[in-house]
């Protein structure tokens, strides 16, 4: 109990420190630890003409007083998991995966399913799905239209901060800071406090809290290389470390007949790298190649003198594009990159031996590969620069915002905050008790501790080595919300623990047909590089939020950039046109973005 008191006291002190810092200025923390930017949230949104709210009105992420330092956490948070005396209706909009069939398989619908019944029966919250749209462009268009017509439902989740800003500026969003402080569970508050200023900045606009933020694990922002190690072993190849090594191995896979091309690329409507506006890698993106060549396209960066520049205008990026074009011409890259509709098809069909993404995509992203080929041994590795050093970009702990319509009642605000508490606490339970995809959970907006993946990796490794047991961990209100289930799962599905001696799990060491195989493999193999390899450099964008100039020019600029990049890689444009692209980018609003960000940084 003393230990818990100490932990909660630390959280309270952390919250107080955050508010104090907000009173002076809101700083954007550089993940590399090299600097802290002196940018207020109001300035970051390019609205200096609008007066920011006083600091004391900002979201504190503080534990409510009546919880008390000795109050039990998690399941006994009576306020956070309150069953309303009379039903509370919450109208929402939803994004759904059009390819998912679990609803129809179970005889359920988007409007009436296991999750909605569980929430209604257990908490007296009546979730009413006013509308739903296919995830991606269709959903984003729906949200944009509703904001334009001032017709938002009680709540919805969006992955675009631009929608938060647009709706907040127009007075359409509820300031929910008080509701979050009053009704969040201690488990949620611990997670939010673990993100520090990132959570504050993502939640807020002009000093007021207009969203419940998504908080992803930091490993989800770090792209690594996934490779068929069994193919390397069969062909007598070393695991590639550098871009030059990767080229040789990719060619060998093709020349041996293992694969029709060497490296998978992204699917249609997906660029080849992350940007400061969308910093989480998708399957098939080529960020590790760019980063191994010192290129950080899509990011707003500062040079040693403090001057802001755009990563897509550098000589390093130009060199990377030249390389990727040659790879495309030589059959190393998938000839259907950025055209294919299913990036995972060849990976799971075992006609591709190399792809890239962050930790989750090895396991979650290619489960069928192991089932289709029992010899498939996919492993994860960093791609190093020419000096043998690992460097990578970091993001803003995910993209996701639960927006609540202005003017909804206190009960509706409370119910929406409670839905987040329920999701965080009960996700593992719900996954184990239904085959329904968690994507159908109402207002699902993932929240996880930034270090959840590597923490869990280390705990499970200790369990496998026999250094610790389940009894050594406290699961009551634990912010690592899947830990108890993960410990039970790894012990159940592993047929031996010999792999733990060198932390090198293979699919032959466990049951690939187990429902939890994907998660365990992602954590223990996909996340292994991030957990065990120290990078020489972590690169942050100087901002991850849309300034006024970004809002004005970004959509046109990134469309122009996407077209140019794809045309260069596929040979429809020559790299000699790179300088013209840079000039066009600057002249068509890019310079204004750089000047605005430079002025805000001081």
| Domains recognised in the chain with CATH numbers | 2-219+396-440 (3.40.190.10), 223-393+539-601 (3.40.190.10), 452-534 (no CATH)
Q: What's the pLDDT tens digit per position in 85-122?
A: 999 999 999 999 887 888 888 889 999 999 999 999 99
Q: Which of 423, 427, 402, 422 is nearest to 413 (CA)?
A: 402
Assign 186 a pLDDT band (cuts: 50, 70, 90).
confident
Query: What is the mean pLDDT of the segment spanning 327-346?
Result: 94
More confident residue, 480 or 47: 480
Residue 5, pLDDT score: 35
More confident residue, 551 or 503: 503
Q: What's the pLDDT tens digit per position in 369-403?
A: 999 999 999 999 999 999 999 999 998 887 789 99
Q: What's the pLDDT tens digit per position in 355-364?
A: 999 999 999 9
Using CA atoms, how far apart are residues 108 and 440, in angstroms rounded to an integer? 11
pLDDT at 522 over 70: yes
**Percentage, residues of the chain above pLDDT 70:** 87
More confident residue, 400 or 575: 575
pTM: 0.78
Tokens matching residue 452 = 């959840």
Q: What's the pLDDT tens digit per position in 263-291?
A: 999 998 899 999 998 888 999 999 999 99
Query: What rounded mean pLDDT belongs to the chain?
Result: 86
Q: How many residues does the chain have?
A: 602
Residue 469, pLDDT score: 97
**Percentage, residues of the chain above pLDDT 90:** 69
Contacts by 348-351 with C-beta closer than 8 Å and gap 24+? 348/372, 350/376, 351/259, 351/260
- DSSP letter string, 410-473: HHHHHHHHHHHHHHHHHHHHHHHH--S-GGGSTT---B--TTHHHHHHHHHHHHHHTS--GGGS
């Amino acid at each position: 109990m003393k230990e818990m008191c100490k932990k909660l006291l630390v959280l309270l002190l952390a919250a107080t420190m955050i508010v104090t810092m907000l009173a002076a200025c809101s700083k954007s923390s550089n993940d590399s630890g090299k600097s802290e930017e002196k940018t207020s949230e109001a300035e970051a949104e390019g609205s200096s003409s609008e007066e920011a709210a006083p600091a004391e009105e900002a979201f504190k992420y503080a534990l409510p007083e009546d919880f008390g330092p000795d109050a039990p956490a998690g399941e006994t948070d009576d306020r956070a998991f309150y069953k309303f005396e009379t039903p509370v209706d919450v109208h929402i909009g939803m994004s759904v995966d059009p390819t998912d069939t679990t609803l129809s398989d179970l005889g359920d619908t988007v409007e009436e399913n296991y999750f909605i019944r569980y929430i209604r029966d257990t908490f007296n919250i009546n979730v009413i799905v006013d509308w739903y749209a296919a995830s991606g462009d269709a959903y984003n268009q729906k949200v944009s239209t509703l904001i334009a017509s001032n017709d938002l439902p009680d709540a919805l989740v969006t992955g675009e901060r631009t929608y938060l800003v647009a709706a907040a500026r127009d007075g359409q969003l509820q300031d929910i800071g008080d509701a979050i402080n009053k009704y969040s569970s201690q488990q949620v508050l611990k997670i939010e406090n673990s993100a520090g200023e990132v959570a504050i900045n993502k939640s807020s606009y002009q000093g007021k809290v207009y969203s419940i933020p998504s908080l992803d694990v930091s490993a989800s922002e770090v792209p690594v290389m996934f490779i068929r190690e069994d193919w390397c072993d069969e062909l007598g190849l070393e695991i590639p470390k550098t871009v030059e090594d990767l080229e040789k191995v990719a060619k060998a896979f093709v020349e041996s007949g293992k694969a029709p091309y060497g490296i998978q690329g992204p699917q249609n409507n997906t660029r080849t790298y992350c940007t400061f506006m969308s910093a989480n890698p998708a399957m098939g993106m080529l960020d590790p190649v760019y980063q191994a060549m010192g290129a950080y396209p899509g990011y707003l960066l500062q040079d040693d003198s403090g001057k802001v520049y755009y990563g897509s205008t550098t000589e390093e990026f130009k060199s990377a594009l030249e390389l990727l074009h040659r790879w495309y011409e030589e059959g190393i890259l998938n000839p259907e990159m950025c055209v294919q509709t299913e990036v995972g098809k060849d990976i799971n069909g075992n006609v591709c031996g190399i792809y890239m993404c962050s930790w989750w995509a090895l396991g979650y992203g290619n489960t069928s590969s192991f089932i289709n080929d029992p010899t498939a041994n996919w492993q994860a590795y960093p791609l190093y620069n020419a000096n043998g050093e690992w460097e990578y970009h970091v993001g803003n702990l995910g993209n996701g915002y639960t927006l609540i319509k202005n003017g909804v009642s206190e009960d509706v605000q409370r119910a929406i905050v409670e839905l987040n508490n329920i999701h965080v606490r009960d996700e593992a339970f719900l996954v184990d008790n239904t085959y329904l995809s968690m994507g159908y959970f109402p207002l699902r907006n993932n929240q996880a501790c930034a270090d959840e993946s590597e923490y869990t990796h280390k705990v499970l490794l200790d369990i496998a080595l026999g250094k610790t047991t389940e009894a050594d961990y406290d699961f009551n209100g634990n912010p690592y919300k899947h830990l108890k289930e993960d410990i039970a799962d790894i012990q159940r599905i592993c047929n031996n623990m010999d792999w733990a001696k060198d932390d090198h799990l293979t699919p032959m060491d466990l049951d690939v047909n187990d429902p939890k195989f994907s998660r365990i493999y992602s954590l223990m193999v996909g996340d292994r590089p991030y957990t065990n390899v120290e990078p020489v450099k972590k690169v942050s964008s100087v901002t991850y939020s849309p300034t006024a100039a970004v809002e004005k020019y970004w959509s046109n600029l990134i469309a122009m950039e996407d077209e140019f990049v794809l045309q260069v890689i596929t040979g429809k444009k020559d790299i000699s046109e790179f300088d013209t692209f840079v000039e066009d980018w600057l002249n068509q609003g890019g310079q204004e973005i750089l000047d605005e960000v430079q002025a805000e940084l001081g």
